[in-house]
Amino acid sequence: MEYPPPPYRIKMVEPIRLLDAQSRLSRMKEAHWNLFNLNAQDIYLDFLTDSGTGAMTQEQWAAMMTGDESYANARSFRRFESAVREFTGLPEVIPTHQGRAAENILLPSVLGEGKYVVSNQSFDTTVGHILFNGKEPMDIVIDEGLDPSTDYPFKGNMNLEKLRGALEGENVALVTLVLTNNAGGGQPVSIENIQRVSEITKEYGIPFFLDIARIVENSYFVQQRELPEMSIRDIVRRTCQLADGVWMSAKKDAYVNIGGFIALKDKEGADRMRERLVLFEGFPSYGGLAGRDLEAIATGLEQVISDERIVEHRIKQVEYLHSKLSEIGVPLVKPPGGHAIFIDAKSMLPHIPPEEFPGQALACQLYIEGGIRSVEIGSLMFGREENGKFVPANMELVRLAIPRRVYEQGHFDYVVAIMKRLLEKKDEIRGMRIVKEPELLRHFTCTLDVIE
């Protein structure tokens, strides 16, 4: 496929440097083979995450200069509030400093009696907050969503039969849908599925909220695959209307570096949340953000639904990298999602068993070969020991998350060239072992070594 022409040009640049091969190897050793330990300045291309790593427009930067930093009911808050209302169609707006802060305010206010928070696939910060509130996550994405080789158009959909089953058991505290399904490869959820979940939760009287970090990307896929006549603006609004409310990490589809919000229909519920907000975030008109941040988010939200080429270009960039890597024979999760590429390390490195972390081995080699940072999503992140026996993750993946408006064709072609070199010497890549690990979330801080 051809590279999509960008709907912008560049007038500010951030220099980046590629260390020589020897320095890259020694930095990797100094980082104990954990990419989270590398210094960002030693990385040439950083695909660790698309969260808060994007570039803003001149209008967003200009709006920041006009931020009203008054403590209560600043002009910037009123502008933010009306931008979020316009975006979601929901009346009650609560700013937070990022997505997980919204979870901290929202969950205790809406959780019912039951034990489970049912979702297509809760994101890891959400899982943390669910557990912290004494509940348990129950992920019921459709079977297609767990199979890396199928091309099903809405692999983020929820399994409706399982939803009914869970609700019949009368043990559900809340139902959510993540759009797109981040933990499941950025795969979209159809409007039809959201509509059905909405109807079923109403029937049982259970609250239903949407995690809309990537709702613009989800709406783009809905437009392409389900509702070609509708604008992305209208699809976003229609989606939000189907739930009791939404929460958003603005670090994704609002195209800013920090921020988030909750929006909902119920005024009483919102006022309960505002009480918690004052305790944990700040006064209800700023919620942990500066006036200038509120301005940047407002402008970002307005722009991304006014010009559909913004999200179209982003998703085509992801498709471009996916198609070029496929062409040279890199095994990938199909189809490409909204924000990232997932390499199937298990099939690329069949000589490395899951207990020797093929994903981590590949991610480290990507850095050593080309100064590229990615992240393992496999047995290092999700594997565990049970009765002294190793239990692997479902899949051994390496994720390249694409920051918004940051990299261009030359960068992507460079990734393809580096992967080509790695394919040629893949049989020499060795497995890894953990040297030291903490008790929880080990992938962030563990140290590793290469198995000789």
Ligand X SMILES: *Cc1c(COP(=O)(O)O)cnc(C)c1O
Least spacing, CB of residue 212 vs ligand X, in Å: 8
> 46 phi and psi, to 5 degrees?
-110, 105
Is 399 one of the binding residues for ligand X (CB under 6 A)? Answer: no
Place of tokens 């020589």: 20
Question: By CB under 6 A, is residue 338 in contact with ligand X?
Answer: no
**For residues 213, 300, 256 and 241, what is the CA-based torsion angle, rounded to 10 degrees?**
-20
Closer CB to ligand X, 81 or 211, in the complex:
211
From the CB of 36, what's the least distance to ligand X, in Å?
Answer: 15
User: Helices in 226-290 by DSSP H: which ranges?
Assistant: 232-241, 267-280
CA distances from 426 to 345, 353, 366, 431 (A): 11, 14, 11, 11
Residues 163 to 192 in contact with ligand X, rule: CB under 6 A: 178, 182
In angstroms, rounded to a whole number, what is the distance separating the alpha carbons of residues 104 and 126?
9
Tell me how far apart the alpha carbons of residues 51 and 250 are, in angstroms, rounded to a whole number.
Answer: 9
- Nearest distance from C-beta of residue 249 to ligand X, angstroms: 3
Q: Is 72 a catalytic residue?
A: no
The owner of tokens 């006064």 is 283
CA distance 76 to 290: 9
| Active-site residue (options: 211, 253, 293, 344) | 211
Catalytic residue from among 31, 213, 290, 361? 213
CB of 257 vs ligand X, minimal distance in Å: 10
Q: Residue for token digits 């609004």?
A: 237
Q: For the window 87-106, what string marks contact with ligand X as x by the rule CB under 6 A? A: -----------xxx------
Helix (H, G, I), strand (E, B) or coil at 315: helix
Q: Has 129 been annotated as catalytic?
A: no
> Catalytic pick from 8, 29, 124, 143?
124
Stretch that binds ligand X, among 5-13, 228-236, 248-256, 390-398 (CB under 6 A): 248-256
Q: How far apart are CA 332 and CA 398, in angstroms?
A: 9
Cβ nearer to ligand X, comparing 27 with 252: 252
Q: Which is nearer to ligand X, 211 or 293 (CB)?
A: 211
Give the bridge partners for 138, in sequence order.
118
C-beta separation of 398 from 343 below 8 A: yes
Taking CB under 6 A as the criterion, the residue among 114, 185, 260, 358 binding ligand X is 260
Name the token pair of 315.
């998703």
The answer to the question of residue 139 lying near ligand X (CB under 6 A) is no
Instruction: Provide CB contacts within 8 A for 273, sequence distance 6+.
Output: 94, 105, 106, 109, 262
Give the nearer residue to ligand X in terms of CB position, either 257 or 347.
257
Contact 285, 95 (CB under 8 A): yes
Tallying the residues shown for the chain, one arrives at 452
Active site residue 213: yes
Applying CB under 6 A, the span of 27-35, 108-116, 141-149, 249-257 interacting with ligand X comes to 249-257
Before 335, cis peptide (omega within 30)?
yes
Cα distance between residue 194 and residue 106, in whole Å? 20
Other CB atoms within 10 A of residue 68 CB? 16
| Annotated catalytic residue, options 123, 342, 367, 407 | 123
Say which amino acid occupies 143.
D
Chosen residue from 119, 249, 299, 379 binding ligand X by CB under 6 A: 249
CB of 100 to ligand X, least distance (A): 3
Distance CA 171, CA 169 (A): 5
Catalytic status, residue 71: yes
255 touches ligand X (CB under 6 A): no
Find the catalytic residue in 252, 316, 334, 339.
252
- Binds ligand X (CB under 6 A): choice among 33, 87, 123, 261: 123
**Is 244 assigned a catalytic role?**
no
Shortest approach of ligand X to residue 96 CB, angstroms?
A: 9
Among positions 135, 252, 322, 405, the unique one binding ligand X when judged by CB under 6 A: 252
334 binds ligand X (CB under 6 A): no
Alpha-carbon distance of 32 to 391, in angstroms, equals: 23
251 touches ligand X (CB under 6 A): yes
Q: Which residue's Cβ has the minimum distance to ligand X?
A: 99
Binding mask 192-211 for ligand X (x = CB under 6 A): -------------------x
# chain residues binding ligand X, by CB under 6 A: 15
Please report, as residue ranges, which positions from 51 to 70 form the binding site for ligand X (by CB under 6 A): 51
Q: Which of 8, 71, 280, 390 is catalytic?
A: 71
Tokens of 358: 């093929």
Residue 105, token pair as written in the block = 């305010």
Enzyme catalytic residues:
71, 123-124, 211, 213, 252, 443
- Under the rule (CB under 6 A), what is the footprint of ligand X? 51, 98-100, 123, 125-126, 178, 182, 211, 213, 249, 251-252, 260
